[in-house]
Structure 1
């Protein structure tokens, strides 16, 4: 089966990132490795991944390898200052599942939006009674360098298509 709309796709890959500063591109550095022991699974056409990523993966089959670079504008774009938000520390209480160490600068907070979807925010600064959070995707502003292999392609179940994500061994309801 080839990667197409409503296919569940399993990949192994190495992701490196680079950034252009002062018109000079940095040397790509490793950001994430997903190997056979921890592959990455997604529902093609409903993944939340950059459109260009899915476009470049379309039509591939199990065993195919891939190597490509997504430029900033094809990936997650540039940082949006409107996604920097100051919130009261009181919202991050023990009763809500948080502890004080989680609010240290540089940490990523596991959060949920009003619809129950997982999201994260990076703690930028402790402002006393408030904390400054960055809700931008962690990979904004970076070129993404992917090298990997397709290890599984299967048809999504009706339930996966209705829910918009992978279920089962490599999905949301393990």
Structure 2
């Protein structure tokens, strides 16, 4: 089966990122490796991944290798200053499931949006009574370089399509 809309896709890959500053591109450095022990599974067409990522995998089949790069614009775009938010520290209390260690500069806070979907914010600065959080995607502002292999392609179940994610062993629990 080839990768197409509503297929469950399993990948192994290495993701490297680079950034252009002052017209000089940095040397790509590795930020994630998904190997046979921890492959990445997603529902094609409903993944929330950059559109260009899916376009470049479309039509590939199990065993196919891939190597491509996404520019900042094709990936997660440039940082948005409107996604920098100052919130009171009191919102991150132990009663709400947060520990003091979680609310430190550089840490990512696991949060939920108003619809109950998981999201995260990076703690940029501890301002005493409040914290400055960055809700931009962690890969915003970077060119992404993928190299990997398609290890599985199968039809999604009706439940997976309805729920918009992969179920079972390599996806979320049903």
Shorter-chain TM-score category? Answer: over 0.9
Q: Which runs of 5+ in 2 are unaligned?
A: none
Deviation (angstroms), 1:115: 1.1
**In the alignment, what sits opposite 2:146?**
146
CA distance in 1, matches of 2:173, 2:131: 32
1:66 aligned counterpart, secondary structure: strand
Deviation (angstroms), 1:116: 1.2
CA distance in 1, matches of 2:12, 2:95: 38
Q: Does 1:33 align with 2:33?
A: yes
Deviation (angstroms), 1:96: 1.0
1:169 aligned counterpart, secondary structure: coil
1:170 aligned counterpart, secondary structure: coil
What are the equivalent positions in structure 2 for 1:100-139 lying under 5 Å apart? 100-139=100-139
**In the alignment, what sits opposite 1:75?**
75
**In the alignment, what sits opposite 1:51?**
51
Deviations 1:3-37 (A, max 9, x none): 00000000000000000000000000001000000
Deviation (angstroms), 1:170: 1.1
CA distance in 2, matches of 1:165, 1:119: 16
1:12 aligned counterpart, secondary structure: strand
Q: Does 1:158 align with 2:158?
A: yes
CA distance in 1, matches of 2:136, 2:38: 25
Comparing 16-25 and 164-173, the one that deviates more: 164-173
CA distance in 1, matches of 2:77, 2:129: 31
